Amino acid sequence: MFTQFFFQRLSPEKQVNKLKKKGVALGTRAKNGRKIHIYMLGSLFVEVMYIGDNSDNNPEQVSILRGLKSLNDYLESEFRTSF
């Protein structure tokens, strides 16, 4: 199993490559007019924002959350701040 420790040490490009090959794409969400892709890799949940909001481009930002509870808490917090 790929752990957060090792995943964080990869470059953003390699992180996204690993997500696309071994992870599960859970969906996308919008924030401030941007498209954010959400992936699951083992017990990690990862949000990726791509340059130009195109998943064929390089990643602009990669955010890592550990575990389903962290993901739920984070998304709930994001939802509350959007209103």
- Per the structure, the count of domains in the chain is 1
On the CB side of 53, CA atoms within 13 Å amount to: 9
Report if residue 72 sits inside a domain: yes
Task: For residues 54 and 7, give the distance between their C-alpha atoms in angstroms, rounded to a whole number.
Answer: 22
CATH number at residue 52: 3.30.67
> Tell me: the pLDDT tens digits for 23-68?
999 999 888 899 999 999 988 999 999 999 999 999 999 999 877 7
- Is pTM beyond 0.75? Reply is yes
Give 4 or 82, the one with higher predicted confidence.
4
Per-residue model confidence (pLDDT) at position 5: 87
Report if residue 73 sits inside a domain: yes
Domain holding 31, by residue range, is 19-81
Report if residue 48 sits inside a domain: yes
Report if residue 63 sits inside a domain: yes
Report if residue 49 sits inside a domain: yes
Per-residue model confidence (pLDDT) at position 2: 62
